[in-house]
Amino acid sequence: MLGKTRLDKLTPKDVQRLHAARRDSMKPASLAKIHAVPRAALSDAERMELVSRNAAKSVRSPRLEAEERRVLTPAEARSSLATVGDDRLEALFVLALTVGRRRGELVALRWEDVNVDAGTMRVRRSAQRVGETLQLVEPKTRNSRRPVPLPRMAVEALKRQRERQDAERADAGQRWKENGLVFASTVGTLMEPRNVTRRFTQLRDKAAMPWLRLHDLRHACATFLLAAGVEPRTVMEILGHSTVRMTMERYGHALPERMRAAADAMDDVMRPTEQDQDDGPADDE
């Protein structure tokens, strides 16, 4: 809609027309992304003095309403893991839930990034589709590259994954292409991320949880950790967020129990003790 308009002739009204034309057919989040592209490009053009002003900057971005989604409970999480127990991607789903890693990060994970003996893993890259090509790119934030301690159940799942992969390598024979990937295809190559989601959907339906998305496992990880009293900064580092603020804005709903505990702690501090009663005000002489 904007392609036939010269940049120096582009006006805020043109950008508003773009919003109006897409408003009924797109979710607010998608429309906000469409708004962000010309705004960023025109900011570069303005700095390079190719245009006198950023027309998109004068137009308000679509307002995003927080989406209320059902939150996975610990009981449901245990049930879902039981469902995937015999699947070849079991360890991937366990890592998504217990350390909150993203799909692309897990697909790109290599054995050299995992220390099973020490119980740690490090994210060095992420699988991302660029056009029609699946590529390995840098993770979203610097925090994503830090080593993350693994729960024992994740370590055990990775050990089973190594055994499964050894068997697949033997079955594939000369067709196997070694890439050192933890979660490879049946011939050792980079796995299509959409196939991971497709398999999770099949297992989710088997577990009778049709509302559950693969990314919800990451949300559940953060929610469980915060509810268990883990410090927000620690949760931030586990998830690979860039700031504590991002963690709290997304997962602050997990804190009511901790806030109640804080209020109860204040009551405990201020409750009179026997010593206070013994040291009461002295009688007037």
CATH label of the domain that carries residue 143: 1.10.443.10
Question: Which of these, 128, 125, 127, lies nearest to 113 by C-alpha position?
Answer: 125
- What integer is the mean pLDDT of 258-285? 70
In which residue are the tokens 């245990």 written? 78
List Cα–Cα distances, 59 to 12, 29, 62, 180, 225, in angstroms.
6, 16, 9, 48, 39
Kindly state whether residue 155 falls inside one of the protein's structural domains: yes
- DSSP H helices, the chain, are 12-22, 28-47, 74-83, 90-98, 103-107, 152-172, 193-206, 216-227, 232-239, 244-251, 256-270, 274-278
More confident residue, 5 or 200: 200
Lowest mean pLDDT among 36-40, 74-78, 84-88: 36-40
For the chain, the domain total comes to 1
**Cut 0.85: pTM above it:** no
Kindly state whether residue 165 falls inside one of the protein's structural domains: yes
Kindly state whether residue 164 falls inside one of the protein's structural domains: yes
Kindly state whether residue 66 falls inside one of the protein's structural domains: no
Tokens of 169: 């390598």
Kindly state whether residue 27 falls inside one of the protein's structural domains: no
The rounded distance, in Å, linking the Cα atoms of 149 and 198 is 28
- What integer is the mean pLDDT of 229-242? 86
Q: How confident is the model at residue 169 (pLDDT cuts 50, 70, 90)?
A: very high
The rounded distance, in Å, linking the Cα atoms of 80 and 254 is 21
> For all residues of the chain together, what is the average pLDDT?
85
Domain residue limits at 174: 74-212
Q: How confident is the model at residue 159 (pLDDT cuts 50, 70, 90)?
A: very high
